[in-house]
Structure 1
Amino acid sequence: MNDKTIIEGIAAPLPIANLDTDQIMPKQFLRGIDKAGLARGVLHDLRFDGAGQPRHDFVLQQPAYAGAPILLGGANFGCGSSREHAVWGLLQFGVRAIIASSFGEIFYSNAMNNGLMLATVPEADMQRLFAEAAAPAAPMQVRVDVDQLQVVSATGTAAFTLSERHRHMFMEGLDMLGASLVHLQAIQAFAQRWQGTHPWLKDVARTARTRIDQAGATPAR
């Protein structure tokens, strides 16, 4: 087992259905030109009131949940806009995995591309996990086993699915570009075969650009 196989620790419950990316990362935190400093924007309007004071009743503002690496999310977690900043911010905030019964499609792709594990479990299991999180013994401990595709807590085990591509990317720490470059030799071999049988398509864009530039440089008569 390695740190990519098992994610475990305190799980903070966020039983909010349709929690969208605008709530996860409000627009005022999108002004930078890089990924730095996004942790402070994560769920900002749920963590702070209009005067900027902490909402101490919100789970992530409670000392017992400080640094929780796992979130229990409501259905359709991460719906809304496609802003990748939501995923970047959650990772900077220390979140390594989110468990929910469903996720926004684009958010799911962004998460898998950045190494944020999303475990999609049946709604019945989510309700069991939320009930466990609400018990007096909270905060609860959860283990997400990526190798066995299981979410394990004191009250039971829930299976989740993950495509082999996403599982490989997560275990190897790859994004989509890195996953493609694993096949670099096969890609190059295919390109050589294709260009050998379709030579008129080789570098067609560059050839066209060169001809256009040459035509533009020819003096008018």
Structure 2
Amino acid sequence: MVAATDIQARIAAARLLPVVVLERADDAVPLAKALLKGGLTVAEVTFRTPAAAEAIARMRKDVPDMLVGAGTVLTQEQLADAGAAGAQFIVTPGFNPAIVEAAQSAGLPIIPGVNNPTGVEQAMVYGLETVKFFPAEPTGGIPFIKALTGPYPGMRFVPTGGISPANLAFYLTVPAVLACGGSWMVDAKLIRDGNFEEISRLTEDAVALARKG
């Protein structure tokens, strides 16, 4: 089991957390290898499709250098499936105390979603130091995150939702931003078409852009 501090450090080092939707588990390993080739060693596989758990399991088995998290975890069943598949961290779109408690009981680091001061304070009650800021652009973006850092200077944010090459570097200039979540480099159509070379190219470009932040 990887400690929460180590998970945070690895995501911080990557500066970018690709949000992956896999319709077929067979695409999991080629995708993970494409991300590695492009310079990313972390991925969030979302539970938006039935293939998620198997995809996570295959990545963990065949691409051990990849730090693999489970995203869009909404239920206790999904959390259990993610843990059984070998997910190393959990990401949720909102703050569900029951899911947070279950993840912590299972020893799974969790990054819950918030977009207001109440959510940040809930996270603090559970001893969390990192939250997902979602949806980032529709709920205030960079100015809102900067406003939150005043009363909550110790909290780190992973803004997700509306992040693109056009604004990635700007988000990463904010000291409280640990990394940004994004999906443009792992576009579902590219995955369906098996265009993993393009995914590697887009990932390499995104990594270079993130380093400018």
Is the structural similarity TM-score above 0.5?
no
Bigger-Rg structure (1/2): 1
TM range (shorter): 0.3 to 0.5
Q: TM-score, normalised by structure 1?
A: 0.34
